[in-house]
A and B are shown apart, each in its own frame.
Chain A
Amino acid sequence: MEYRQAKTGKLLIEILPDRCDFCGCCVGVCPEDAIELKEAEIFIIDPRCTNCAKCVWSCPIEVIKFNREGVPVGK
């Protein structure tokens, strides 16, 4: 399986956009400015993500997951 590449290897952070409230907690704590957030659209900017997981811990509604298997391309 192919994985999206982040700076430190495989991208392991996954956002479930369908369940997201677009509140911005994750963006505020991201040290790398690696999350793009519009009115109702959110995604991780792969080359910037270091898999630090701070966004995962800060999500109030468990919409950002840490997936040890990596996140497949094109998902």
Chain B
Amino acid sequence: MKNEYDVIVVGAGPAGSMAARFAAEQGVSVLMLEKDRDVGYPVRCGEAISKAGVEEFIKSDDKWIAAKISKFSFNAPDGTEIIIEFGDAGYVLERRIFDYELARTAAEAGAEILTRAYVNGLLFDEDGTVCGVKYEFNGEQKELRSKIVIAADGVESRVGRWAGLKTHIDFRDMESAVQITAANIPVDQNTLYFYFGKDVAPNGYFWIFPKGNNKANIGLGVSGIIGKKKSAQSFLDDFMNKHYPNAPILTKIAGGVPCSITLDKISAPGIMLVGDAARQVNPLSGGGIASGMIGGSIAGRIAGEAIKMNKLNHILTYDKAWNDRLGKRHEIFNRIKEGIYNFSDDKFNSIAHSVLKVPIEKRTLGKVFTTALMNNPSLLLDIAKVFVI
């Protein structure tokens, strides 16, 4: 270990690893700190991602692909199932291996990695610029200076807070999730299943994602508004008791998905925020692996450039670079999410019934959308409301 680094990355999830890798690729010194014992574990995620989202950063490898996905199944509250086929477009990952491999690519690019290093504060220059981290390692409190800190500390996002950025998320936008890996779930192994409605996952969705050999990643997220009355755990128990009362549970864990637009500010002198910490999750789907990797890669590249140019305020261009790539799109997704959140069970049912009339070979997500609109004039109004600010 060095006495000082150009870049310190806090958190070794997909966003942190990509930030570390893209910075290290520019030839600057990078250290990535992870608070847990292992990179990639525990897994708090539905683990589904598009093939394109993965392959922008790493070559597909069967060792971290649990299932290859070619179909979506959307299930309305009355049981109507809409299947959409789309070729070989996605994967369900084995995140504990996937994250590990991503960290390895960062290491290959030259980044150093330290696990069990718990960052609990920041160092500041006289002018308030972030210039390093305080962390606990082996029971000892330590300090380490860096020119840039990249906060990839996940849903908690405390590092950004310490730097003075407003990172706390409205409890209504926090999808509190609980997820299990279960065996003996006999669903199609190439289909992602989504369930909607107030009984299964109000203001969110319930998922069953296959993981090969009839294992499945099952879970749901609910907004804090719902959590006031009934917890995610309670919804999961109800669903499992009803549909798979005897399924063996291999893992069970809670997690939080920040489903909002990106923070107003994701960089400040000496610090950049990436992934869940920056609220870079797609607010409509709750998917954050691909968008986190994109955010991390942009931040890492800009951090590396800033150090090479010896022009540290270059990191402030990161906000615009992110907004141009995905941030603005997420604002639209967020408006759609807020519209869908208000749909009643009847509305979901009537959309499903309309889409069912489209032959399966003609069903695409876009087609589903337009069909839903054409057959439900009132929905058109809802969607219009969604797009009109």
Binding site for B on A (CB under 8 A): 21, 23-25, 27-31, 33, 37-39, 54, 57-62
Q: Is the CB of A24 within 8 A of B154?
A: yes
Contacts of A25 in B (CB 8 A): 155, 174, 176, 254-256
Q: Is the CB of B35 within 8 A of A60?
A: no
Minimum Cβ distance to chain B for residue A13 (Å): 14
B94 at the interface (CB under 8 A from A): no
Contacts of A57 in B (CB 8 A): 171, 224-225, 227-228
B178 at the interface (CB under 8 A from A): yes
B158 at the interface (CB under 8 A from A): yes
Minimum Cβ distance to chain B for residue A57 (Å): 4
Minimum Cβ distance to chain B for residue A33 (Å): 5
In this complex, the member of B37, B161, B171, B258 whose beta carbon has the largest number of chain A beta carbons within 10 angstroms is B171
Residue of A nearest to B162 (CB): A33
Residue of B nearest to A35 (CB): B156
B368 at the interface (CB under 8 A from A): no
Q: A58-B227, A59-B227, A62-B234 are in contact. List 5 more A-B contacts (CB 8 A).
A: A54-B171, A60-B178, A60-B227, A60-B231, A60-B255
Contacts of B48 in A (CB 8 A): none
Q: Is the CB of B231 within 8 A of A28?
A: no
The 8 tightest CB contacts between A and B, nearest first, are A25-B256, A60-B232, A27-B156, A60-B176, A24-B156, A21-B254, A60-B254, A23-B254
Q: Is the CB of B224 within 8 A of A21?
A: no
Q: List 6 A-B contacts (CB under 8 A).
A: A23-B254, A27-B155, A29-B168, A38-B35, A39-B35, A59-B231
Q: Is the CB of B231 within 8 A of A29?
A: no
Q: Is the CB of A33 within 8 A of B256?
A: no
Q: Which of B41-98 contact A (CB under 8 A)?
A: 42, 44
Q: State in angstroms the CA–CA spacing of A57 and B118 once bound together.
A: 27
Interface size on B, residues (CB 8 A): 36
Contacts of A28 in B (CB 8 A): 155-157, 168-169, 174, 256, 258
Residue of B116, B154, B158, B174 near A33 (CB, 8 A) is B158
Residue of A nearest to B252 (CB): A21
How many inter-chain residue pairs (CB < 8 Å) link A and B?
89
Q: Is the CB of A39 within 8 A of B171?
A: no
Q: State in angstroms the CA–CA spacing of A28 and B161 once bound together.
A: 10
Contacts of B222 in A (CB 8 A): 60
Q: State in angstroms the CA–CA spacing of A60 and B235 once bound together.
A: 10
Residue of A nearest to B34 (CB): A39
Minimum Cβ distance to chain B for residue A22 (Å): 8
B350 at the interface (CB under 8 A from A): no
Residue of B nearest to A40 (CB): B36
- What's the dominant secondary structure at chain A's contact region? loop
Binding site for A on B (CB under 8 A): 35-37, 42, 44, 116, 118, 136, 154-158, 161, 168-171, 174, 176-178, 222, 224-225, 227-228, 231-234, 253-256, 258
Residue of A24, A39, A61 near B155 (CB, 8 A) is A24
Q: Is the CB of B254 within 8 A of A61?
A: yes
Contacts of B228 in A (CB 8 A): 57
Q: State in angstroms the CA–CA spacing of A29 and B171 once bound together.
A: 5
Residue of B nearest to A21 (CB): B254
Q: State in angstroms the CA–CA spacing of A23 and B254 once bound together.
A: 6
Residue of B44, B168, B234 near A23 (CB, 8 A) is B44
Q: Is the CB of A31 within 8 A of B168?
A: yes
Known: A23-B44, A31-B168. Is A58-B176 also a contact (CB below 8 A)?
yes
Q: State in angstroms the CA–CA spacing of A27 and B170 once bound together.
A: 11
Known: A29-B168, A29-B171. Is A61-B118 also a contact (CB below 8 A)?
no
Q: Is the CB of B256 within 8 A of A58?
A: yes
Residue of A nearest to B235 (CB): A60
Minimum Cβ distance to chain B for residue A14 (Å): 16
Q: Is the CB of A23 within 8 A of B155?
A: yes
Residue of A nearest to B154 (CB): A24
Contacts of B154 in A (CB 8 A): 24
Contacts of A30 in B (CB 8 A): 168
Contacts of A23 in B (CB 8 A): 44, 155, 253-256
Q: Is the CB of A61 within 8 A of B231?
A: yes
Residue of B118, B253, B258 near A21 (CB, 8 A) is B253
Contacts of A31 in B (CB 8 A): 168
Known: A27-B158, A61-B233. Is A39-B36 also a contact (CB below 8 A)?
yes
